Amino acid sequence: MEPVSATRHSGAERREDILDAACEEISTAGFGGATTAAIAQRAGISQPYVFRFFPTKKELSLAVVDRCVGQLLGDWERVVPKQDETRLQALGRWYVEALPSRRTQLLVQLQAYAAAEDPDMAEAMRHHLARIFRYIVLQARRDGAADPHADAASFLSRGFLINAAMAIGLESALTPEEWAGICAKGEVARVEDRREHPAA
């Protein structure tokens, strides 16, 4: 199973390690706050070695967003609707079910919108958002939706709310029913009747 050497990896492997580590760091610290030192340490390499694969931090950043959006769309490709379930419903169900395991992936995207002061990042996100929107519209169309664009926009909106709520730890501050209410398009639990700091 793979080379005997425990330390030396191939360039391609290291690149993936770095991207993995960068996703983790960026998901919490943001694109500006994540340091190449922390990314390197998490990847198990020295800080300067990062620059062997990505000439600047910015190129690494753009590679990270591209990867996360690609993973999201890749995940969605593999979602199969259950019986009596539309494609959009299946995507929505997956979104909530896979939330814990895809936390990093989604938080990186939130960070990317926040980092849009950089024109290159903004352009990248316009591109990626168009990709995602396009995919959702396609599925809505296959579902035979009367207004695929409206349904897609609503679906997308809910995703943004969920991402933001997840970022501030609302899922662990709410009861499962309340959290399900936030995620669902229909029923929503009575969040506003709780005390101001439910987690305290």
Partner DNA sequence: TCCAGTTGTTATTGACTAATTACTTCCGTT
Partner DNA sequence: AACGGAAGTAATTAGTCAATAACAACTGGA
Give yes or no for residue 169 binding DNA (CB under 7 A): no
User: Which region, judged by CB under 8 A, interacts with a copy of itself, from 23-31, 41-49, 76-84, 91-99?
Assistant: 23-31
Q: Fill in the per-residue mask, 41 to 80: x = in contact with a copy of itself (CB under 8 A), - = not in contact.
A: ----------------------------------------
CA distance 112 to 61: 9
Structure tokens at 126: 């316009």
Give yes or no for residue 134 binding a copy of itself (CB under 8 A): yes
Length of the chain: 200
By a kind-dependent CB cut-off of 5 to 8 A, residue 142 interacts, out of a copy of itself, DNA, none, with none
Q: Which residues contact 24 (CB under 8 A, 6 or more apart)?
A: 42, 104
CA distance to 9, 50, 55, 176, per residue, from 47 (Å): 16, 6, 13, 41
Gyration radius from the chain CA atoms: 19
From 127, 139, 144, 145, residue interacting with a copy of itself (rule: CB under 8 A): 127
For a copy of itself, give the closer residue by CB, 26 or 45.
26
- Crossing angle of helices 11-33 and 36-43, in 10° steps, is 140
User: Which region, judged by CB under 8 A, interacts with a copy of itself, from 7-15, 35-43, 46-54, 182-190?
Assistant: 182-190
Give yes or no for residue 1 binding a copy of itself (CB under 8 A): no
By a kind-dependent CB cut-off of 5 to 8 A, residue 86 interacts, out of DNA, a copy of itself, none, with none
For DNA, give the closer residue by CB, 57 or 131.
57
Interface of this chain with DNA, residues 27 to 46, rule: CB under 7 A: 34-37, 44-46
Does the CA dihedral 54-59-65-66 come out positive or negative?
negative
DSSP characters for 138-190? HHHHHTT-SSHHHHHHHHHHHHHHHHHHHHTTHHHHS-HHHHHHHH-SS----
From 16, 20, 42, 51, residue interacting with DNA (rule: CB under 7 A): 51
User: Which region, judged by CB under 7 A, interacts with DNA, from 4-12, 103-111, 145-153, 175-183?
Assistant: 4-12
Binding site for DNA (CB under 7 A): 3-5, 7-11, 14, 34-37, 44-49, 51-52, 55-58
